[in-house]
Structure 1
């Protein structure tokens, strides 16, 4: 259906052909809407007296679906009005349309087919584009999610790395402490080794001194045996000489000899005791000697086990440990000599 715009002359010509006032009003409205002249004559029988202008406007949209017409109605349009329009359209198309009208409608529809196909192609193309955009967006979402998961893994790995770094630092400090402890133990071992070597050297020195003392004791014992043999010879000689002396004189001589021997021994004892006392005073008055050293020396000087030579050897010791070692050795020698007797 081709709508057109009528001139004033053409409008008057069409309106003058109708004498009925009501029909002239409807025709004027249809002319204003641009309906063709031949359509106006066909539409007049189907237009009621109360047909409104908007209903006439809807007649011009016959090629559209009734559902689409709902959205094009004004605010005052109601469902009942749509039903009125549908009844008008049905009556117009089914009951009164000629074959020429049908062909014209078909031609009109054929004009819209390419447009519909174009719209369908555009819709399919738009749908494909939307699908592609949806796939891209889905891929972006997946990548974003994967990125989030990867970031979480990176954060977890960073935390694990920080934890390992802290443990590594603790182990490093422990290693440093162990190294320091190792160095300290090594130094203690060196000190202990040096002390052991020193003690071994001191022990060797003591053993050497003890060996010298043992040799000296052996020599003294041998000398004592020699002196004892000489004394026995002298005693025997004296006895032989005394056999020629009267008994009374012999008794006097023996008494003198005994007294002289005792006196001589007492003088030697007095001299030795004086020397022992002098040596003890020198030792205890020396400020470099401790009280323990002084007490040990005085104890040794007050016994018969220690000779003057032994006391001098004891006084020459540098520390209390050396003095105690020598003390034990002298006691052992004294016990050994007592067993021989």
Structure 2
């Protein structure tokens, strides 16, 4: 049995509920905000850990026609769901993989001269075309400040020289986080200089946070990811997005501790008085960061409407919470880890990590429920 896909509610320690209608609503909200710019969707990393197939299906049926993935195998999976969508592979094209892009009409986001040469040579030698008879698609990614992937100005000159061999459908760059607005301003300036070399090619620069910048660089196409999945694209301000995920876990044992008794493998938590402790069936294998139990983190679950702090360290499969101040708790009860009372961003802040890491780290062994109202 494949435990990642066939786990049942009675077998699972954790239950992840994904509201597909909320994802669609978030996409529609962003589309309205963006006006004439097309609103695509970033569905890399298994749609940020929430399931590529159900997420792409819901967005495609709602009218989304452009998707971004990180790897070709993700693009192949998305193509099976969205036959006429534009699918861009953000991590470029690895050696000897050109046929895969052509077979599934995927557009590699070319980030270096060797990639451009490989794709151009493949297109020239094979003469392959799209189903409509056009040149095979590609995009160019410009390097504007992150120094991870992308073409510098001198690379672009070489790329333009070979661009007649394929169809450059998009030029793009990756922005820093929206809180670094000064950096983003410099990135936009660099992007504009390089964009002038390809003035008639559609451009894309805005991720979730950049959509909400005062001088938002929307261009022709925006690429939201985190906001689609309920993350707050405007930290420090009310979240304009609908919540998407709910993570719950089951209480599997309740015990009363006497003063001085310790909890967890590291024995770091000591009961200062009589306490009622509940062990829940969730651990770091389910995406619960070990940092949630550090002193002063504020990490907690919701049990019967009360915040109950994590204590004693997060194990691979188990973590204890102090339910002394909750109502009567017993074996089999369900507690909220992420949901209406604890958002993705709350959970991330308590753990000292990003919301992106929270979403993509949610364990595959939980029972998954998909809702579409």
Which TM-score band (shorter chain)?
under 0.3
**Which structure ranks higher in relative contact order (CA pairs < 8 Å, sequence separation ≥ 6)?**
2
- Which is greater in Rg? 1
Structure with the largest fraction of strand: 2
Q: TM-score, normalised by structure 2?
A: 0.17
Structure with the largest fraction of helix: 1
